[in-house]
Protein backbone atom coordinates (compact mmCIF):
# COMPACT_ATOMS: atom_id res chain seq x y z
CA UNK A 1 0.00 0.00 0.00
CA UNK A 2 1.34 3.36 -0.98
CA UNK A 3 0.76 7.06 -0.56
CA UNK A 4 1.83 9.44 -3.24
CA UNK A 5 2.90 12.79 -2.03
CA UNK A 6 3.43 14.88 -5.04
CA UNK A 7 6.61 16.83 -4.99
CA UNK A 8 8.34 14.49 -2.62
CA UNK A 9 7.93 11.57 -4.93
CA UNK A 10 9.93 13.35 -7.55
CA UNK A 11 12.37 14.89 -5.15
CA UNK A 12 15.82 13.47 -4.73
CA UNK A 13 15.65 14.45 -1.08
CA UNK A 14 13.96 11.44 0.39
CA UNK A 15 12.99 13.00 3.71
CA UNK A 16 9.61 11.45 3.03
CA UNK A 17 9.39 8.40 0.88
CA UNK A 18 6.15 8.48 -0.97
CA UNK A 19 5.20 4.97 -0.04
CA UNK A 20 5.99 5.14 3.64
CA UNK A 21 2.92 6.44 5.49
CA UNK A 22 0.58 3.75 4.23
CA UNK A 23 3.23 1.06 4.48
CA UNK A 24 3.81 2.08 8.08
CA UNK A 25 0.09 1.79 8.86
CA UNK A 26 -0.44 5.50 9.47
CA UNK A 27 -3.29 5.57 6.98
CA UNK A 28 -5.58 3.09 5.29
CA UNK A 29 -6.73 3.22 1.67
CA UNK A 30 -6.28 6.59 0.02
CA UNK A 31 -6.97 8.26 -3.32
CA UNK A 32 -6.18 11.60 -4.92
CA UNK A 33 -9.20 13.81 -5.51
CA UNK A 34 -9.81 17.47 -6.29
CA UNK A 35 -8.08 19.27 -9.13
CA UNK A 36 -5.03 17.00 -9.07
CA UNK A 37 -7.27 13.93 -9.27
CA UNK A 38 -9.17 15.53 -12.16
CA UNK A 39 -5.87 16.09 -13.94
CA UNK A 40 -5.52 12.34 -14.27
CA UNK A 41 -8.40 12.52 -16.78
CA UNK A 42 -8.25 16.09 -18.09
CA UNK A 43 -5.73 18.65 -19.21
CA UNK A 44 -3.81 20.12 -16.26
CA UNK A 45 -5.30 23.24 -14.71
CA UNK A 46 -3.73 25.34 -11.99
CA UNK A 47 -4.28 24.33 -8.39
CA UNK A 48 -2.60 25.35 -5.19
CA UNK A 49 -2.93 22.14 -3.25
CA UNK A 50 -3.52 18.41 -3.27
CA UNK A 51 -6.62 16.76 -1.79
CA UNK A 52 -6.14 13.22 -0.64
CA UNK A 53 -9.14 11.21 0.52
CA UNK A 54 -7.94 8.79 3.11
CA UNK A 55 -9.38 6.02 5.22
CA UNK A 56 -8.08 6.55 8.70
CA UNK A 57 -7.60 3.64 11.04
CA UNK A 58 -9.21 4.10 14.44
CA UNK A 59 -6.94 4.08 17.40
CA UNK A 60 -7.23 0.99 19.61
CA UNK A 61 -9.92 1.58 22.24
CA UNK A 62 -11.29 4.61 20.41
CA UNK A 63 -13.92 5.20 17.75
CA UNK A 64 -12.53 8.60 16.83
CA UNK A 65 -10.86 9.19 13.52
CA UNK A 66 -8.17 11.79 13.31
CA UNK A 67 -5.69 13.01 10.75
CA UNK A 68 -3.20 13.87 13.50
CA UNK A 69 -1.25 10.59 13.17
CA UNK A 70 -0.56 11.48 9.52
CA UNK A 71 0.45 15.02 10.41
CA UNK A 72 2.61 13.79 13.28
CA UNK A 73 4.25 11.25 11.01
CA UNK A 74 5.02 13.79 8.30
CA UNK A 75 6.02 16.55 10.69
CA UNK A 76 8.57 14.22 12.22
CA UNK A 77 10.02 13.92 8.72
CA UNK A 78 10.45 17.62 8.17
CA UNK A 79 7.09 18.61 6.69
CA UNK A 80 5.47 21.77 8.01
CA UNK A 81 1.86 22.50 8.80
CA UNK A 82 0.13 25.43 7.10
CA UNK A 83 -3.38 25.85 8.47
CA UNK A 84 -5.39 22.76 7.54
CA UNK A 85 -2.71 21.54 5.17
CA UNK A 86 0.67 19.98 5.54
CA UNK A 87 3.36 20.96 3.09
CA UNK A 88 5.10 17.97 1.59
CA UNK A 89 7.80 18.76 -0.90
CA UNK A 90 6.39 21.92 -2.45
CA UNK A 91 2.75 20.90 -2.22
CA UNK A 92 0.29 21.82 0.49
CA UNK A 93 -1.62 18.57 1.03
CA UNK A 94 -4.98 18.15 2.72
CA UNK A 95 -5.96 14.72 3.99
CA UNK A 96 -9.71 14.29 3.99
CA UNK A 97 -11.49 11.38 5.66
CA UNK A 98 -14.46 10.46 3.45
CA UNK A 99 -17.69 12.10 4.56
CA UNK A 100 -20.85 10.28 3.57
CA UNK A 101 -21.66 7.33 1.36
CA UNK A 102 -20.58 8.97 -1.91
CA UNK A 103 -17.05 9.73 -0.78
CA UNK A 104 -16.71 6.32 0.88
CA UNK A 105 -17.79 4.62 -2.33
CA UNK A 106 -15.47 6.88 -4.34
CA UNK A 107 -12.53 5.84 -2.23
CA UNK A 108 -13.38 2.14 -2.55
CA UNK A 109 -13.75 2.47 -6.34
CA UNK A 110 -10.59 4.52 -6.93
CA UNK A 111 -8.52 3.75 -10.00
CA UNK A 112 -5.04 2.45 -9.49
CA UNK A 113 -2.20 3.99 -11.42
CA UNK A 114 1.52 4.43 -11.21
CA UNK A 115 3.58 7.59 -11.04
CA UNK A 116 7.27 7.16 -11.62
CA UNK A 117 7.20 3.60 -10.46
CA UNK A 118 5.07 4.22 -7.38
CA UNK A 119 1.59 2.75 -7.12
CA UNK A 120 -1.13 5.23 -6.30
CA UNK A 121 -4.91 5.72 -6.54
CA UNK A 122 -7.08 8.39 -8.09
CA UNK A 123 -10.84 8.81 -7.67
CA UNK A 124 -12.79 7.69 -10.74
CA UNK A 125 -13.92 10.36 -13.20
CA UNK A 126 -17.56 9.63 -12.40
CA UNK A 127 -17.01 9.98 -8.66
CA UNK A 128 -15.02 13.18 -9.12
CA UNK A 129 -17.94 14.61 -11.09
CA UNK A 130 -20.50 13.45 -8.52
CA UNK A 131 -18.46 14.90 -5.63
CA UNK A 132 -18.01 18.17 -7.54
CA UNK A 133 -21.76 18.32 -8.11
CA UNK A 134 -22.43 17.67 -4.43
CA UNK A 135 -19.86 20.29 -3.35
CA UNK A 136 -21.40 22.78 -5.76
CA UNK A 137 -18.95 25.69 -5.89
CA UNK A 138 -18.39 27.59 -9.14
CA UNK A 139 -15.00 25.92 -9.66
CA UNK A 140 -16.57 22.50 -9.13
CA UNK A 141 -19.18 23.19 -11.81
CA UNK A 142 -16.46 24.42 -14.17
CA UNK A 143 -14.62 21.15 -13.65
CA UNK A 144 -17.74 19.12 -14.41
CA UNK A 145 -18.10 21.01 -17.69
CA UNK A 146 -14.47 20.14 -18.50
CA UNK A 147 -15.15 16.44 -17.85
CA UNK A 148 -18.19 16.51 -20.12
CA UNK A 149 -16.57 18.56 -22.88
CA UNK A 150 -13.65 16.17 -23.03
CA UNK A 151 -15.80 13.07 -22.92
CA UNK A 152 -13.90 11.89 -19.87
CA UNK A 153 -16.88 10.31 -18.09
CA UNK A 154 -18.90 7.21 -18.81
CA UNK A 155 -22.49 8.52 -18.92
CA UNK A 156 -24.00 5.22 -17.78
CA UNK A 157 -21.67 4.91 -14.79
CA UNK A 158 -22.18 8.57 -13.88
CA UNK A 159 -25.96 8.21 -13.94
CA UNK A 160 -25.68 5.15 -11.72
CA UNK A 161 -23.58 7.03 -9.16
CA UNK A 162 -25.85 10.09 -9.26
CA UNK A 163 -29.01 8.00 -8.83
CA UNK A 164 -27.52 5.93 -6.03
CA UNK A 165 -26.57 9.02 -4.06
CA UNK A 166 -29.72 11.07 -4.67
CA UNK A 167 -28.05 13.64 -6.90
CA UNK A 168 -30.33 13.41 -9.96
CA UNK A 169 -32.29 16.55 -9.21
CA UNK A 170 -29.07 18.55 -8.69
CA UNK A 171 -27.77 17.05 -11.93
CA UNK A 172 -30.87 18.13 -13.86
CA UNK A 173 -30.53 21.65 -12.45
CA UNK A 174 -26.86 21.72 -13.35
CA UNK A 175 -27.57 20.59 -16.91
CA UNK A 176 -30.32 23.18 -17.37
CA UNK A 177 -28.08 25.96 -16.11
CA UNK A 178 -24.70 25.09 -17.61
CA UNK A 179 -25.30 22.74 -20.51
CA UNK A 180 -28.41 24.40 -21.91
CA UNK A 181 -30.27 21.13 -22.26
Partner 1 sequence: MDDKERRRRLASLPFSEKLKILEKLRDRSRAIAASGLRKTVRQEPEQAPNNAKSKP
Regarding 13 and contact with partner 1 (CB under 8 A), the answer is no
Regarding 64 and contact with partner 1 (CB under 8 A), the answer is no
Which 148-167 positions form the footprint of partner 1 (CB under 8 A)? Answer: 150, 152
Could you tell me which stretch among 39-47, 58-66, 124-132, 159-167 binds partner 1 (CB under 8 A)? 39-47
The three-state DSSP-derived secondary structure of the chain is: CCCCCCCCCCCCCCCCCCCHHHHCCCCCCEEEEHHHHHHCCCCCCCCCCEEEEECCCCCCCCCCCCCHHHHHHHHCCCCEEECCEEEECCEEEEEECCCHHHHHHHHHCCEEEEECCEEEEECCHHHHHHHHHHHCCHHHHHHHHHHHHCCCCCHHHHHHHHHHCCCHHHHHHHHHHHHCC
Task: Find the shortest distance in angstroms from Cβ 90 to partner 1.
Answer: 7
Regarding 66 and contact with partner 1 (CB under 8 A), the answer is no
Regarding 42 and contact with partner 1 (CB under 8 A), the answer is yes
Site string for partner 1, 110-149 (x = CB under 8 A): ---x-xx-----x---------------------------
- Using the rule CB under 8 A, which residue among 53, 73, 91, 174 binds partner 1? 91
Amino acid sequence: MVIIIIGTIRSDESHVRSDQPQADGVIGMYAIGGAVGATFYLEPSATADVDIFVMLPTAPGSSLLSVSPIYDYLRARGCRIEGERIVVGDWPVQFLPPHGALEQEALAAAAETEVEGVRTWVLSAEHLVAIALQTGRAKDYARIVQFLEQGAVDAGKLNGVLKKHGLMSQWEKFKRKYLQE
